[in-house]
Structure 1
Amino acid sequence: MTADSSLLAQAREWHVLLHSGRATAADRAAASAWRCTSPAHEQAAMDVERLWALLGQLGEQPASEPAAAQVRPLRRRRSLRWAVPLASAALLVLALWLPQGAWMSWNADFATAPGEIRSVELEDGSILTLNGATALDWTISEGRREIRLYRGEADFQVAKDSTRPFFVEAGPARIRVTGTRFDVDYDGQDVVLAVTQGQVQASDAQAQPLLVGASQQVRWSGERLQPLQALDARQQLAWQRGKLVFRAQPLSEVFTELERSQRQRVIFLDQSVRDLKVTGVFAHDDPQAVLRAIESNLPVRLVRLPGLLLVSRS
């Protein structure tokens, strides 16, 4: 069992200070007092130390080779051999010290934490419902309403106003409406637009505008707009009903979805498991049920660390 996220953040700060070379005797005494405040504080400190120890193992240099083998041509080979574990350690450090989604909330007009669903009414009367780990900016002027979706997913109920078109930008996606309802899902690479009411104009930087009507969806992949498809509302809009629905989806996509509902970064230590398929229906607010199903039905091993989930083949 790990400590809660607020105590982990405090434990990380103390750990960084104590290992920075700048800690005074007073700092060390204060850190010790903080740790002794409660069993939960002690648990947080132990969790952070556990991960720090793992990083040390990943970055550990190999034992010295026999003198006969220590010739100049092997130097580059040895450095390349250890580039991967050292890079893995660097990734783990970033995942630990930079909480998931932290950058998004710094400047965005509206943002949600993982697991949070929030509704917002804009000045024009439009209503947005944000899924977890979502961030966006909103601007309005005399002739234009505009949303910039940085990452995440939102349901848009756009108030009708023919004099002020409503624009949404998300990665390569460009969307224009005057009044309708639709969902935009942006995972940082691909974008999916799902229209439930009315008609939406979709385009990318190169294609001609494409009209997407009710019960239709379209994807931007590789920065290009793809052909229209029938809307699979049961899966694409499942989060609005409090569900997570997976139909033979790659494990990598499943974990991307789970990062919206839990404060836990995912790192694949074995890339061969990324394409394993997952099928099932789960409660949106119970990501642990998904993890249990993955462990029970797929040849994977999940290692839970504070703020991290390491995935490898079992």
Structure 2
Amino acid sequence: MKKPVKPDSSSKSVSGSALDAEAHAWVLYFASGENAPEKQKLFADWLAGNPDRRVAFERAGQLWDAMADVEDVENILTDQNNIETFQPRRRMSRRILLGGGLAASLVCAVGIGSLTLQQVPPEMIELSTPIGEIKTFTLSDGSEITLGGASQVRGEFSATTRNLELVGGNAYFDITRSKDRPLTVDTGSVRVQVLGTRFSIKKRTEQVAVSVDSGHVRVMTDMAARDLRAGDRIVSSAALRLGPVEPFDAERELSWRSGRLTFVDAPLHDIVADINQYSGRPVRLAPSAPADMRLTLSFSVKQIDQVLAGLDAAYPIEVRENDTEIVISQGR
């Protein structure tokens, strides 16, 4: 007995006769009315592995259409002594096998290289951390995202796209390379597009900072675009839009991943904003506080209370606290 031909999803080259046999087996499968998701994926891989396969599949479909006029052909095709590979669960009628039903099935199957993958529901992504927590998440494609305290990323992955949104806070992205599925991170005012790289995005109320740890990214706004490579940093704000590309110290800039906040000549309002991602009580700047006073500090997120007490003692500011909040104002 002749062994049935099984569709092969590998990318190795095959002879014309073997290719036709594989194509015929796929035609019979789709004609049976079956449409299992795992088979759709196998078929998509089979098509993508060799451009000749699409031609063979279309040729096989045309041959089946031509056989519609052959008397009792449906009985011949479903005879177990001829084909066993995709035995249908129910008897195929002539209408399903050779009529408009098959034509419709083949039209769908020919486009399955793109259509089938789109039929798979997109993967919805919702990542977040509470105040005080730093956490690394692993995505389905192998990428990793580390979120700082009180941060949120959401989005969706499909067969052709990887779209994320940094809703708030900061995140370090270690993205698995995929030339066919670029990854885009949207912050609302800035979009970052990559194929595969490591980079950080910090979103504050008035600005967004992008720092590239490895690889290459493109940073875009509605008005401009910049290409950044490893060691580059750029800040976008309402006033400056996309600022100049500048070098940065990765060890200092990315120290938050290990629970350490580092600031060099940073305004007090930025320091307070970052502290609020880790403080058990919200820290608020009073209207009289010197919000633009610039400071250089480095401390663990577990030392916030001590740092604020030190600022009160060393700088012209006053730190008052109660059970619900900490307020910084101008010192006397």
- Quickly name the TM-score band, shorter chain normalised: 0.5 to 0.7
What's 1:126 paired with?
143
TM-score by length of structure 2 reads: 0.59
After superposition, residues 293-304 of structure 1 pair within 5 angstroms as: 293-304=310-321
Q: Distance in 1 between matches of 2:243 and 2:138?
A: 31
TM-score by length of structure 1 reads: 0.63
Q: Distance in 2 between matches of 1:108 and 1:251?
A: 34
Q: Tell me the matched-pair count.
A: 207
Q: Which has the larger radius of gyration?
A: 2
Aligned alpha-carbon RMSD (Å): 1.8
Task: Report the CA distance between 1:138 and its aligned residue.
Answer: 2.4
SS state at 2:302 partner: coil
Unmatched runs of 5 consecutive residues or more in structure 1 = 1-106
Structure 2 residue identity aligned to 1:255: V
What's 1:280 paired with?
297
What's 1:111 paired with?
128
Unmatched runs of 5 consecutive residues or more in structure 2 = 1-123
Greater relative contact order: 1 or 2 (C-alpha under 8 angstroms, separation 6 or more)? Answer: 1
- Indicate if the aligned counterparts of 1:112 and 1:118 stay in contact, CA closer than 8 A: yes
Q: Distance in 2 between matches of 1:237 and 1:190?
A: 17
Q: Distance in 2 between matches of 1:127 and 1:234?
A: 19
SS state at 1:295 partner: helix
- Indicate if the aligned counterparts of 1:155 and 1:182 stay in contact, CA closer than 8 A: yes
Q: Distance in 2 between matches of 1:226 and 1:244?
A: 23
Q: Distance in 2 between matches of 1:307 and 1:123?
A: 40
Q: Distance in 1 between matches of 2:127 and 2:158?
A: 18
Larger mean CA deviation between 128-137 and 235-244 belongs to 235-244
- Indicate if the aligned counterparts of 1:136 and 1:148 stay in contact, CA closer than 8 A: yes
Q: Distance in 2 between matches of 1:188 and 1:135?
A: 14
Task: Report the CA distance between 1:108 and its aligned residue.
Answer: 8.2
- Indicate if the aligned counterparts of 2:261 and 2:299 stay in contact, CA closer than 8 A: yes
**1:87-118 alpha-carbon deviations (Å, 9 max, x no partner):** xxxxxxxxxxxxxxxxxxxx981111111001
Structure 1 stretches of 4+ with a deviation exceeding 3 A read: none
What's 1:261 paired with?
278
Structure 2 residue identity aligned to 1:221: S
- Indicate if the aligned counterparts of 2:289 and 2:328 stay in contact, CA closer than 8 A: no
Q: Which residue, 216, 234, 250 being the options, matches 2:232?
A: 216
- Indicate if the aligned counterparts of 1:171 and 1:189 stay in contact, CA closer than 8 A: no
Q: Distance in 2 between matches of 1:243 and 1:266?
A: 18
Larger mean CA deviation between 136-145 and 297-306 belongs to 297-306
After superposition, residues 149-228 of structure 1 pair within 5 angstroms as: 149-207=166-224, 209-222=225-238, 224-228=241-245
- Indicate if the aligned counterparts of 1:171 and 1:191 stay in contact, CA closer than 8 A: no
Task: Report the CA distance between 1:219 and its aligned residue.
Answer: 0.8
- Indicate if the aligned counterparts of 1:129 and 1:154 stay in contact, CA closer than 8 A: yes
**1:196-241 alpha-carbon deviations (Å, 9 max, x no partner):** 110001110111x311000111111117111100022233212123
Taking a change above 3 Å as real, the CA distance of residues 272 and 295 of structure 1, as seen in their structure-2 partners, is closer
- Indicate if the aligned counterparts of 1:234 and 1:245 stay in contact, CA closer than 8 A: no
**1:241-271 alpha-carbon deviations (Å, 9 max, x no partner):** 3322122222111111100111322332243
